[in-house]
Structure 1
Amino acid sequence: MDYPSRAAFDPSSCKSLYVGNLHPYVNEAMLQEIFATLGPVAEVKVIKDKVTGMSAGYGFIKFLDHRAADLALQSINGRVLYGQEVRVNWAFQKDQREDTATHSHVFVGDLSSEVTDRLLFEAFQPTGGCSDARVMWDHSTGRSKGYGFVSFRSREEAENAIQAVNGSFIGHRRVRCGWAQHKADANASDITSVDRSDPSNANVYVGNIAPEVSDAELRRHFQQFGNILEVKSYRKGSYGFVQFEQHVEAVHAIVGMNGQVVGGKPLKCSWGRHQTSRGPGGIAGPGAGQVSHSQVMMQLANMSLLGGPQPGLLNPHHPFNNMMQVPQAPLAHSQAGQLSQHNQLSHMMGPGSAALGNIGYAPLGYASMGLGHGQQLGPGLQHQP
């Protein structure tokens, strides 16, 4: 399955999606059946763990056209499948992207709304040494936040780029350039020297949280940077944690959100304690320490996910909007082995759906399953007419 490179990425033409936070029971056949309801699917791939051979919890979907892929992103992202919220985003080719962990980084502000990663990269490429470009997006609106970051292989090349591009037009507006800091809208100054953190840590500590700021609001602010596995705040201590799926997503979140005002108070973002496993209660609980903000490494490492626009709002006329989402317990392995592929899908679903489980829509409804009103759909779930 081929994906565009990060530098060449343009969400207006992309046909491939990343699908994360998948339950181990979710396989390629299930994903094929789910996503095919939204448009013609060319290829489905669930990534396997190299050691266990089991699902690694994520995969990729390639559609035949962009429109279907865009509809799938908006419709399925955040839906519940086997009790887990599915994360959907645009996919791009990881292997074609250069590791920028040791590179120098430039902040670019006042970007016009039409500027994409590709356009930003092309604007800086002539200055030499440009290795990556990324525009920040507002998840709630699906629009550019008006700033981004560009990476260079050396500090000298980054300095030359600042002098060459600062004040020039990219798109329809003059941009301002400076050294990247831990607050995206700060005035240009020398880049902060930071140390490398544990490359497997994706847990962000968030301090100085206003009392009225909910976990849902924190998620809305942070989800522009990548796939969030969990958000947990502790009101008595005015702090919390945001657990991302990938380390590089947490890096961007710390850099982009530290000092940003939410609920009238500037957030203090740094590394949370690395969680090697997530048991009951989720990510770090009260008393989990955070690493000093000076230990944050502004690294833009290889990643297979664009932190781009995810409007998160369904088409008001799409049938998904009229379906219920009923959380379901996963089947026991002994039960799963007794069910056909199609009946396993029926176990996941809420009322009105034969194919999408908790996602909640299938053109043929219960008729496609041969089920009448009031019949059992799975353990503990009964359709109510």
Structure 2
Amino acid sequence: MNATAPNNYPMATLYVGDLAPDVNEAVLFDKFSATGPVVSIRVCRDLATRRSLGYAYVNFQQSADAERALDTMNFEPIKGRPCRIMWCQRDPSLRRSGVGNIFIKNLDKGIDNKALYDTFSAFGNILSCKIALDENEVSKGFGYVHFETQEAADEAIEKVNGMLLNDKKVFVGKWMSRKERIDQLGDAPRKFTNVYVKNFGEDFSDEDMKNLFEKFGEIQSMKVMRTEDGKSRGFGFVSYAEPEHASKAVEEINDKEVNGRILYCGRAQKKSERQAELRRRFQQQKMERNIQFQGVNLYIKNLEESIDDTRLRKEFESYGTITSAKVMRDEKGNSKGFGFVCFQSPEEATKAVTEKNGQIVMTKPLYVALAQRKEERQAQLAAQHMQRVGRMIPQGTQPVGQMFTGGFYPAMAPFPTGQRPAFLPAQVPRPRFSNQGVRGTPGYPGAMMTRPRMPRAPPRPINQQQSRIAPGGGANMAGLSGQRAPSASGTRNQKYSLPLIKLV
């Protein structure tokens, strides 16, 4: 069945996925330009490393050319890897709604994307078809098919569910998100058929595994994991035909002693499930330790390099019962200069902090305090920093700044009235700056500071012997102790006045 372009897309855009890392725009242009004029091609890349994310978008000029490329080039190899082509869906809600999306599991490893597409294309127009692969690009045994309509998906579920594909009975059902599966399961125990067993010895054979588990029900597959030289790795898997048989095996085998070893038997989990459970257990144990050692664990720093765990315990044993004492060391075994001492009761720990803090041990004074978690220390240091900053800024002032060409420079806070800082003597006049004009105004972007005006000096007193009467009743300044009279080319914006001279 030929796929048609959706009516709500003004441009014929195709999504091309499952690309090799070295496929670029030029390779795709050579590949798709054979079917019709290509407007643009974009290979999506990582912003930091610029490596290909494995998919691209190809924009055609005509919708018919894009449809022909989808029909003739889908699942064709590009640099040795089959590509997966579908119409570009710009609305993500269409994919997340689950309408027309089905899930297929228990597939044969030999079924690829093209075989799955050919199998389900008879029921309707397929928007997307994909087989889940592992890191080695091997089929995981399940896949997804997204139909254009829910009616086509329902027909595929009705016709294919329970059928044999490559001699394997497949399951076909409606796709559900993880949240929907959890809500549907509720508080009921999860059904499983695959069992994980561990902690048996190297001499444990496949026959021993079969004799141990076959009494609980029909076994579909079984495997003891081994090393390259054939020795048992101490764990294996057993797959039952019915979930009830697997649950019964877990109840009977778990914590059972076999050949002097206590076995563990439980539901086989995915790697993501195991990691999530380990994280949950770690956080729970961390919280329990914090509650258990609250107020009894001490942090000691400024230790001598020669102090070991025994000497540290001896220094604090007089204050109460010590449950543990540890000096922290690096990978080479050298002391890091700090350690921890844990007491049995908070009263003993408080007494040790009060009396031991600041006491000199060997040549250094110790710092002793209650141990804190990393988050608590960071919050305390941040609060102390904010307090110091608040004390530096006078009350009633607001930090401001001026913008110069080189960047932002914070302005100094105003001084209290009638006070001057020690570095600015009172007898030194403060220079004045011109604020006239736009370029001379501080705060204007690109402003230049003008040359300061020098203070005007008072006129020097003139003796009668040094003065002479100039013609016209004025004083001749040429005779003033060698001083020159101001000329027109002298300092601008400055006026000189002479005192009146009384004639004798």
TM-score band, normalised by shorter chain: 0.3 to 0.5
TM-score by length of 1: 0.32
TM-score by length of 2: 0.26
Work out which of the two has the higher radius of gyration on C-alpha atoms and give 1 or 2: 2
